[in-house]
Structure 1
């Protein structure tokens, strides 16, 4: 809970007309793979459309706030929904698994 999520550098984001976030990541990381393996009409990016809650979490991931601080910040947004803390934590772990974010352990007070 005290880890700091931050967005990976190869991820770009956009907004839909309703304010929700669209995450885009490249199908292939290397230029030669994009050139030779990507069909001509296919977008070089895969797009993931987030819903309202996912957008709120994504926009809170700033590389400064810990997961615990994000949960506290979004308490009002989730309006006391049952088990919203677990939902946020699970979503952040899924973003990490999918390669959209990384988790950084902040330095312990002894190392500061």
Structure 2
């Protein structure tokens, strides 16, 4: 069972994990690279022809957010920048938090509480 995150998300600081590789194309779209390792992934690669490496293209919003993740900005800071860049976006904060949670679940980022070391 997943451990629930306690505290105020607005105070958390997302930080990219050092092993996360990414690239950016000429239009500003970010592509994350995920290497699938481990026993079950090797079985899937061998018998079900799953790729060893996946390339995940983020959309415009995701790319914008990814570029703002620097280990210093809080979720609140990122949400303010997102609202400035995309003023018509509905439920921007909840969408931002959900996106960051997905990145965390796939080990692209870690949460760092404001004033704490990365977990």
What is the TM-score of this pair, normalised by structure 2? 0.74
Instruction: Select the residue among 70, 77, 87 that pairs with 1:69.
Output: 77
What is the TM-score of this pair, normalised by structure 1? 0.78
- Alignment partner, residue 59 of structure 1: 67
Unaligned runs of 5+ in 2: 1-9
How far residue 42 of structure 1 moved from its aligned partner, in angstroms, is 7.6
- Alignment partner, residue 105 of structure 2: 97
Instruction: Select the residue among 5, 22, 25 that pairs with 1:16.
Output: 25
Instruction: Select the residue among 1, 5, 28 that pairs with 2:14.
Output: 5
How far residue 73 of structure 1 moved from its aligned partner, in angstroms, is 1.5
**Are the equivalent residues in 1 in contact too, given 2:82–2:92 (CA < 8 A)?**
no
**Are the equivalent residues in 2 in contact too, given 1:8–1:102 (CA < 8 A)?**
yes
RMSD, aligned α-carbons: 2.5
After TM superposition, where is structure 1 displaced by more than 2 Å over at least 4 residues in a row? 41-45
How far residue 38 of structure 1 moved from its aligned partner, in angstroms, is 5.9
> Deviations along 1:31-83, whole A, 9 cap, x unmatched?
xx98xx966x9864211100000000111100000101100122121223221
Q: Residue 74 of structure 1 aligns to a residue in which SS? A: helix
**Are the equivalent residues in 2 in contact too, given 1:71–1:85 (CA < 8 A)?**
yes
